[in-house]
Amino acid sequence: MANQENNNGPTSPETEVGYPDLILEEIDLSLLEDSLAKTPWERMLANDDALRFADSLRAAMEKRNAKPKQTG
């Protein structure tokens, strides 16, 4: 089957939703597959872990960039 043109660009039989092949080449589908293999609860827990990690990084940066307190 030859590529067809539509409003969203060329499609091929491999692209069910009509995304151009170039976009699909740039997407790491293994990350999507790993995420979909988890239950919604497991995805929520992973998100909570990521948020806690981001908060700890933010706190560490604030601590590192804090101006020293002057005693006096």
Residue in 48, 52, 70 with CA at minimum distance from that of residue 60: 52
| pLDDT (mean) for 46-58 | 97
**Highest averaged pLDDT of the listed ranges 4-8, 14-18, 31-35, 39-43:** 39-43
Q: Is residue 53 included in any domain, yes or no?
A: yes
Rounded CA gap, 8 and 52, in Å? 38
Residue 36 domain boundaries: 28-65
Total number of domains constituting the chain = 1
Q: Is residue 32 included in any domain, yes or no?
A: yes
Going by pLDDT thresholds of 50, 70 and 90, the confidence category of residue 60 is very high
Q: Which residues pair with 4 in a beta bridge?
A: 11
Identify the pLDDT of residue 22: 62
Q: Is residue 46 included in any domain, yes or no?
A: yes
Q: Is residue 20 included in any domain, yes or no?
A: no
> For the residues of 19-64, what is the DSSP string, one character each?
--HHHHHHS-HHHHHHHHHS-HHHHHHHHHHHHHHHHHHHHHHHHH
Q: Is residue 12 included in any domain, yes or no?
A: no
